[in-house]
Structure 1
Amino acid sequence: MSEAERTIETPDEPDGADTSDVTDGTDETADVAGDDGAEENEAGEGRGKRRILVLAGVAAFAYVLDLVTKIMVVEWLEHEEPIEVLGEWLRFEAVRNGGAAFGIGEALTVVFTCIAAAVIAVIVRLARKLYSTPWAIALGLLLGGALGNLTDRVLRAPGALEGHVVDFIAPKYFAVFNLADSAIVCGGILIVLLSFRGLDPDGTVHRD
């Protein structure tokens, strides 16, 4: 064989050549990508659980505060003279309300009881996809307020599902209400503001 032929010829790879380096590199890249995806999923689940805890905490606070104030009102204010807090502009006065918030629809007590139960079920279902702290606060206020008034509907006179809610905050020129009503209204306002800003419960932001 001439010198030129020996120069042009491409030598075959030696028998038993180790090609595992290339394969190992590919496997390592796949492993890293898989680990990153798993870490992202775990981080997302952690954020979701924290938002659920925020929702539950806000709901529990609103519910307990409403329940305690109603017990105090029934014990100390019912069948008593109203207490003036800011003169004639704000009084505490025990009132039994068979309607919705602020005394609306007193003839539809059972209907409002069913609506409150449905709202609670929707919030609990929505909580599984909750990744936004502001939404967690808003839904927590709604949940706590709905639970507070639903407790009255179920446990108070005149009977189950028809119980009258205890109201006691009486501003001048306005309907009498309670802290559960306040929590529901504040939660509703916050939801409207979040919707205007384009923030969804799952934490994403959209622009119309």
Structure 2
Amino acid sequence: MSEAETIETPDDSEKAPAGGEVAADGDGTGAPDRGKRRIAVLAVLAAVIYLSDLVTKIMAVEWLEHEPPVEILGEWLQLRVVRNGGAAFGIGEALTVVFTCIAAVVIVVIIRLSRKLYSTPWAVALGLLLGGALGNLTDRIMRAPGFLEGHVVDFVAPKHFAVFNIGDSAIVCGGILIVLLSFRGLDPDGTVHRD
């Protein structure tokens, strides 16, 4: 088995060398500033997803719960509130506390990973995951039936598919992007590996 070859990427000039020292460029700014920009992308995207998720869930509960479904594209796409105590597709409703803990661990891992983040695509992927996870974790903590056991509010209901929310969509999109980046060999630190 051959050792993976590291190929430079456009972000390589923005990364810290392996020894951890960062050389500043002529104007006194170096890789830490560029890394902070990637973290800013992650944080802003996560905040936008989180706030969108929160606001739309509040609106859905206020206007749609205990009401007939609102048809957007006939029966193919409706808005209706479903309280989900489990994971995707309502699986594992008896494991709500476990899913709450998993969401909390995912958030901690993303925050720790962001310290070595020098790739904009990874910043986008992790921002999507973080925003969606925070939105659903907020439901688990704040909503009935109680602390760590709250049911997530889902309200987008396509025909023949699970009911979901904005946070769920962001998590799925972030996960798909991470898979694509991994297949391309792009690491969060901006390096690309070819076997």
- Residue 72 (structure 2) pairs with residue 67 (structure 1): no
Matches within 5 A, 1:81-120: 81-120=68-107
Mapped to 2, the partners of 1:78 and 1:68 lie a distance apart of: 15
Partner residue, 2:9? none
Partner residue, 1:145? 132
Percentage of identical aligned residues: 79
- Hey, which of these two has a bigger chunk of helix by percent? 1
TM superposition shift of 1:37: 3.4
177-186 vs 97-106, which moves further: 97-106
C-alpha contact (below 8 Å) 1:117/1:150 kept by paired residues: yes
Matches within 5 A, 1:39-188: 39=25, 42-188=29-175
Instruction: Provide TM-score, normalisation by structure 1.
Output: 0.81
Mapped to 2, the partners of 1:102 and 1:186 lie a distance apart of: 16
Mapped to 1, the partners of 2:144 and 2:23 lie a distance apart of: 55
Mapped to 2, the partners of 1:198 and 1:43 lie a distance apart of: 25
Give ranges in structure 1 of 5+ residues lacking alignment: 1-35
TM superposition shift of 1:43: 1.6
Cα distance per residue 1:144-169 (max 9 Å; x no partner)? 00000000000000000000000001
Indicate the RMSD between aligned Cα atoms, in angstroms: 1.4
Mapped to 1, the partners of 2:136 and 2:104 lie a distance apart of: 10
Give ranges in structure 2 of 5+ residues lacking alignment: 1-21
Q: How many residues align?
A: 173
Structure 1 runs of 4+ off > 6 angstroms? none
Partner residue, 2:177? 190
